[in-house]
Chains A and B, each alone.
Chain A
Amino acid sequence: MSPLETLSAAITGQPAHRIPIFCNLLDQGAKELNMPLEQYYSKGEYVADAQLKMLKRYGYDNVWSLSYVGKEAQLLGCQKILFAKNGVPNVADFVIKSWDDIPTFEIPEDIILHPHWQSIADCLKILQHEVGSTHPICAYVTASTTLPILLMGMDKWMELVLTGPVSLRDELLRKCSDFVQQEIAALRDAGANVIIYATPFGSPYFIPKKMIADWSMPWMQRDLIAGPDNIVYYCGMAPLNTVTELVIDKLNINLFYPAPEDDISESKRLINGKGLTSGVIDDIKMIHWTKQQTRDEVKRIIEIGKPGGHFLFGTGLMPLDIPEENIIALLDAAFEYGRYA
C-alpha cells in the first residue's frame, strides 16, 4: 500500500498493514540542505528537495508544502520576516498597525499571481510530480478568525474581537475569509491533498465554547464553503475534543488533529468510526527526552489509538532542537507499534 492508500484506509476503516505516520519536519529541511533558514525558504525548490530527501531518509508518510506560517502574512502585504538561526520565522511587520488600517486593507485579487505565491507553487509542483500519486502532500491554511493575528498581532486582535466595534471586526473577517477561500482553492489546484486548517479560535483553550458556536463557526463555515474534503481540523496544538461533535455537525469535517493534552480514547469515541483522529506526541518534550522516553510515549499513544483503526500517529511542528536520535527513535517505534498483525 502507498502512504496515500494507508491514509485512505485509516479514514474509511479498511484493512491496512499499519496506521499512517505523519512526521512534520519543516525547519529541519534547512539542515538537510546545509543552508541558513532564510536562504532555504527563499525558493520552493529547496523546500521540495528537502522534503523529498527527508521522506526518503526517514520513511514516514507525508510531505509538506508549508514554508512558514508567516508566508500567509506576506501574501497579505507583510514586508518583513524575522528569520532566526535556529527556529521558526516570525512576522516582523504588521500589515494592520491600528484599527484605522482595516478599511483600506486589501487581499490579493488573485492569490496565484502574487509574488510570494511562486515559491509555494514551485514547491507543490515538484512534490506533486514526485509523490503526488503516492503520498499525502500537506498544506497549511490559517482560519479567517486566526489570520488577523498574523496581520496585527495577537493582543490587538484579541482586543478587537472582545471589545472592538463589531462592524470593523466583521469587515476584517470578511476579507480574511475571502482570502482563505482563495488559498484553499489554489492549494488544491496546485496539488495539495491534505489541508491542515489551523483554527485556534476553534479551540476552547482560546475562547468559550459558546463563542466558538456563535462566532467562530459561521466564519469557519464561510471559509470552507467549497467543502470539507481533505480538510483537517487543527487548533494549533490547543485542545479540541470538546468541540469535535460540533465541528462534525456544523462543518462536516471528519479529520481531526488534536492536541497532545486531548484524551486519545475520548478522541476515538468522538470520531466513532466516521473518519480519522490522531494521537499527537508532545514533541517539545522530545528536546530533552532520552530515546527510551520517546519510544515509551509513542508506544503509549499508539496502543490507545490503534485498535479499531480510524487513527493516525503524528507530531506537532517538531522543534529544531530535537536531537536526530529522538526523531529516529520516534519513527522506529511508530513503525513497530503501528503495525497491524
Chain B
Amino acid sequence: MFETYIKDYNEAVFEIDKELALEVVETAIQNGVTPEQVVFNIIIPSIEEMMAVIAENADTNLAQHFMTAQIAAEITEKMLAKFTTPPEVVGRIIIGTAYGDLHSLGKRIVMGCLKSMMVEVVDLGVNIKAEDFVDAAVAQDAQVIAISSMMVHTATGEDGSIKVRALLKERNLENKIKLVVGGAPYRFDHELYTKVGADKWAADGVTAAKIIKQLILEVKAS
C-alpha cells in the first residue's frame, strides 16, 4: 500500500507539483493511513528514495531538491501536531551560513529534510560567527554543526569553518561535535572540505541531510 503512495508522491515531487503531492497524502489519510504512518512510511522513505536517486544519477535539479524539502517539512509539521505520542528524536544539529554569507537556500533544503527525518534543527540564520556555532552546539547538546557557504571566501575564510574547527579542538569537543559543510564552492573542489577542517561535505541539501543523520548516529554511538 505504502509503495503506491511513495511512488505517486515522489512522482509529484519530481514534477515539482506541490498540489499533487499534497493530494497524495490527503488521499492516504482518507484511506485510513495514520499521521505517524504518513511521516514514517511515506515521507521519510520518499526522501530516502530521492537521496538514492541523487546518489545514482546526478540528473536531478535544485528545484526538485527544494520541493523535496519544502513539501516534506510542511506535511511533517502538520502530521506531528496529530501524533498520538511525541516521536523519538534522532539527534540535534546547529545550522547556519558562514560568517559573511547571506545565502540561505541550501540551509533551507537541509533543514526541511532533517525535520522530516526527526532531527531537531536549531537554525542560527545567516552570517554566523564561528564562536556562535560552537557555543550554540554546546548549549543545545548538538551532535553536528552544519555550515553553508555560497561564496569561496566565506567557505575558506579564517572566520568560517576553519575557526569552528579550531574552537572544537581548543575546547576538546571534536569527538562530541562533528562539522559538516556544503555550498557551491565545495561542489567545484571536492577536497575543499578537508582544507577548511570539516568532517564531511555534501553536494546538495538532500544528500547533506543523509550525511548529517549518519554523523549524529555515529556520535551518539561513540
**Which A residues have a C-beta under 8 Å from some C-beta of B?**
82, 84, 86-88, 90-92, 153-155, 158-159, 161-163, 204-208, 211, 237, 260, 282, 284-285, 287-288, 319-321
Query: Which of A162, A237, A319 touches B153 (beta carbons < 8 Å)?
Result: A319
Given contacts A206-B63, A208-B61, contact A285 B188 (CB under 8 A): yes
Interchain CB contact under 8 A, B61 and A204 = yes
Contact A162 B102 (CB under 8 A): no
Interface string of B162-203 (1 = CB under 8 A from A): 000000000000000000000011001101100100000000
Q: Are B189 and A287 in contact (CB under 8 A)?
A: yes
- Binary interface profile of B, 145-166, with partner A (CB < 8 Å = 1, else 0)? 0000001111011000000000
- B70 adjacent to chain A (CB < 8 Å): yes
Check B185–A284 contact: CB distance below 8 A. yes
Main SS of the interface on chain B?
Answer: helix
From 50 to 99 in chain B, residues with beta carbon under 8 angstroms from any chain A beta carbon are 59, 61-64, 66-67, 70
Q: Is the CB of B62 within 8 A of A287?
A: no
A162:B192 contact, CB within 8 angstroms: no
* Seed contacts A86-B157, A88-B151, A155-B104; 17 additional CB < 8 Å A-B pairs: A90-B103, A92-B102, A153-B102, A154-B103, A158-B63, A161-B63, A162-B67, A163-B18, A207-B62, A208-B61, A208-B64, A237-B188, A284-B192, A285-B188, A287-B152, A288-B195, A319-B156
Question: Is the beta-carbon distance between B61 and A206 smaller than 8 angstroms?
Answer: yes
B108 close to A155 (CB less than 8 A): yes
CB of A215, distance to nearest CB on chain B (Å): 11
Most chain B beta carbons < 10 A, residue from A90, A92, A211, A260 = A90
Nearest CB of B to A297, in Å: 12
Q: Which residue from B63, B152, B192 sits with its C-beta under 8 Å from A87? A: B152
The interface residues of chain B lying within 8 Å CB-to-CB of A211 are 16, 63
Residues in B neighbouring A285, C-beta threshold 8 A: 188-189
29 contacts between A and B (CB under 8 A): A82-B100, A84-B100, A84-B153, A87-B100, A87-B153, A88-B153, A90-B100, A90-B103, A153-B103, A153-B104, A154-B104, A154-B105, A155-B104, A158-B62, A158-B63, A158-B105, A159-B70, A162-B16, A162-B66, A204-B61, A205-B62, A206-B61, A282-B188, A282-B189, A284-B152, A287-B152, A288-B189, A288-B195, A321-B153
